[in-house]
């Protein structure tokens, strides 16, 4: 498989060091397509194989790619505390249907420093009984951090689950001022 899919789609990637560990960022000409937590060699290899399979082209490591430059800059600024919102083109091709609808609502309707319950988010997309389905959508989010699934919590005040691990979710919520910084 080459670096371009059947329609000439190029997929580029880079790893960015953050306060929550290395993040793999991948982009196409349409925008940021994937963010992967804990991007160790093993995790990175699986993620890149999955991207190649889903997008039809082998991702190419290209940390200086113009397709990634702005995403890298904004992710670094977010973790430095100088950026509250991401303003990036997003390639939603890895997610569809209800999950995409929920993630788009999350992106546009739950700002930095706030949280929303799973059920409340379900209601916002016209499916008030679909709290569990919202949880599935959060777990399948291909763009965590940028599409802020860490801002979705349980109705009773519990933190809820998180694909990047609960400690990662706590750190992201602390960065946004929702939770206190861990003492150690």
Active-site residue set: 149
Other Cβ atoms within 10 Å of 103 Cβ, number: 26
Structure token digits, residue 75: 């992710």
CA separation, residue 4 to residues 39, 56, 81 (Å): 23, 7, 36
Which of 151, 147, 144 shows the shortest CA–CA distance to 177?
151
Taking each helix axis from N to C end, the angle separating 131-139 and 97-109, rounded to the nearest 10 degrees, works out to 90
Indicate the burial class of 101 (C-beta count within 10 angstroms; 0-12, 13-18, 19 or more): middle
């Amino acid at each position: 498989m080459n670096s371009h899919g059947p329609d000439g789609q190029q997929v580029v990637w880079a790893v960015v060091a953050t306060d929550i560990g290395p993040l793999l960022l991948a982009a196409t000409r349409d925008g940021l397509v994937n963010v992967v937590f804990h991007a160790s060699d093993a995790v990175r290899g699986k993620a890149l194989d999955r991207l190649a399979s889903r997008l039809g082209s082998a991702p190419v490591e290209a940390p200086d790619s113009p397709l990634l430059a702005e995403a890298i800059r904004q992710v670094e600024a977010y973790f430095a505390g100088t950026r509250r919102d991401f303003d990036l083109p997003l390639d939603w091709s890895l997610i569809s249907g209800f999950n995409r609808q929920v993630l788009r609502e999350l992106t546009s309707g739950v700002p930095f420093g706030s949280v929303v319950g799973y059920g409340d988010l379900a209601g916002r997309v016209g499916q008030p009984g679909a709290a569990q389905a919202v949880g599935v959508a959060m777990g399948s989010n291909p763009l965590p951090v940028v599409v802020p699934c860490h801002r979705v919590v349980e109705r009773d005040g519990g933190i809820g689950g998180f694909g990047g691990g609960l400690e990662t979710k706590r750190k992201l919520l602390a960065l946004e001022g929702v939770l206190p910084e861990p003492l150690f």
